């Protein structure tokens, strides 16, 4: 029973971190972004280009209004979690499928890897069959 509760709490915590990572407040703040991204962080952007933590902090990240849907987590070990979700980007008027790897480093979950892939799917397509 305890493991199920931990899984639910972990899923909620990772979703909250994903929402912070994609939210404008964190994306506008170099300090907040620095806290979320692991030192070895890298990303494959929806553009097809790769970025590391230094590039994200120095060049900044895209500031758009996004909503997150169909979030799931897949624990890979006790300190590594794969997170997947669908994003509706209201600013750029496009949708993406996202995946992240979160690692528990120095007593907190940090974003180690992220990828966004532009998708032709619409929100009602991905919500079919869900409650």
Structural domain count of the chain? 1
What's the CATH code of the domain at 32? 3.10.450.50
Q: What is the pLDDT of residues 77-116, one digit of tens each?
A: 999 999 999 999 998 899 999 999 999 999 999 999 999 9
Q: Give the DSSP H/E element, type plus range, for residue 29.
A: none
b/e code 54-92 from CB counts within 10 Å (16+ = b):
eebeeeebeeeebebeebebeeeeeeebebebbbbbeee
Global pTM exceeds 0.95: no
What is the residue range of 19's domain?
A: 2-127
């Amino acid at each position: 029973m305890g493991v199920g509760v931990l899984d639910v709490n972990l899923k909620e915590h990772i979703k909250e971190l994903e929402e912070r990572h994609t939210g404008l407040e964190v994306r506008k703040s170099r300090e907040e972004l620095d806290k979320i991204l692991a030192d070895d962080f890298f990303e494959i952007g929806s553009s097809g280009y790769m970025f590391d933590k230094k590039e994200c902090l120095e060049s900044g990240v895209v500031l758009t209004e996004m909503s997150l849907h169909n979030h799931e987590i897949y624990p890979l070990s006790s300190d590594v979690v794969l997170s997947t979700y669908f994003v509706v980007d209201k600013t750029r008027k496009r949708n993406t499928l996202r995946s992240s790897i979160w690692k528990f480093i120095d007593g907190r979950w940090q974003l180690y890897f992220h990828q966004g892939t532009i998708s032709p799917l619409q929100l009602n397509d991905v919500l079919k069959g869900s409650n």
